[in-house]
Amino acid sequence: MVHSLPALLDDLERRLVKGEDPLPLLGSVRWRDLTGWPKDAGEAQQLKQRLSSLHALINGLQAPLQATLLALSESPGYSAGGLVAVPAPISLRFSEHI
């Protein structure tokens, strides 16, 4: 299945906003066949801004999870680098299920 980068980002954003699981979409992409890469500096800057927006969306969606992990943790705050210590029985490795 061939995907264009702009269409892939649109679909990814739509799924995240709707609360759908993005892993089936990301798992179906043949990354070496991905088309629609930027052709000039202007397009590359637009892509960079688009990816920055998606990153902010993902961080916003993770905020409740981070707050829950903080509440479950014995430590009173964030560790170095702003990370929350994850309790031993919880794993954040979603990529293992792909």
Count the neighbouring beta carbons within 10 Å of the beta carbon of residue 17.
10
- Specify the number of domains making up the chain: 1
Count the neighbouring beta carbons within 10 Å of the beta carbon of residue 5.
15
79: tokens are 């560790």
> Which residues span the domain enclosing 42?
5-97
Give CA–CA dist 72/89, Å, rounded.
11
Write the pLDDT tens digit of every residue in 41-72. Answer: 999 999 999 999 999 998 888 888 878 877 77
Question: What is the DSSP secondary structure assignment for residue 81, as one 8-state letter?
Answer: G
| Helix axes 5-18 and 41-72, enclosed angle (nearest 10) | 30
Write the pLDDT tens digit of every residue in 62-98. Answer: 888 878 877 776 665 555 566 666 666 655 555 544 4
